[in-house]
Amino acid sequence: MSRNHRPDPESAADPALARYASQYRVLQDALATLGYFCKGSVLSRTFTCGRAACPCSRDPERRHGPYFEWTYKVAGKTVYHRLSPQEARIYKEGAAEYRKLKSLLRRLEHVSRRALAYKARTA
């Protein structure tokens, strides 16, 4: 990123640019608080085994499980990883952090785009 496009101290002379710089710094600080993250979802599934004598085939409440899976996409293909309950909790937290990251990046881009448009209009 070139130095001309970063929020800088000279933006304090212009109230609009100062506001954009302040919003940008708040979002940068929020980025710094993120924990480890991963894309994807953690699912809890129950299954029927297919044996006619097993209670799972007659009663949905007696299905086998829950089993946990972490799913995500790689090159357009869904990848599945089976997880233990402890791993599921950790990956679920990581997926939540990833959603926070994506939200913060969208907000950073929005503030940046508005600041750049303002600077272009006033140049």
pTM of the model: 0.78
Q: How many domains does the chain have?
A: 1
- Do 11 and 24 touch, CB atoms closer than 8 A? no
Closest listed residue to residue 119, CA positions, set 24, 49, 54: 24
Question: 54 is in which domain, residue-wise?
Answer: 22-122
Q: What is the mean pLDDT of the chain?
A: 90
What's the Cα-to-Cα distance from 76 to each of 16, 39, 73, rounded to whole Å? 42, 14, 6
Instruction: Quick: pLDDT tens for 11-63.
Output: 657 898 999 999 999 999 999 999 999 999 999 999 898 888 999 888 888 99
On whether residue 13 sits in a domain, the answer given is no
- From the CB of residue 76, how many other CB atoms can be counted at a distance below 10 Å? 5
- Residue 103 lies inside a defined structural domain of this protein: yes
How far, in Å, CA of 107 to CA of 24, rounded? 9
Question: Who has greater pLDDT, 4 or 44?
Answer: 44
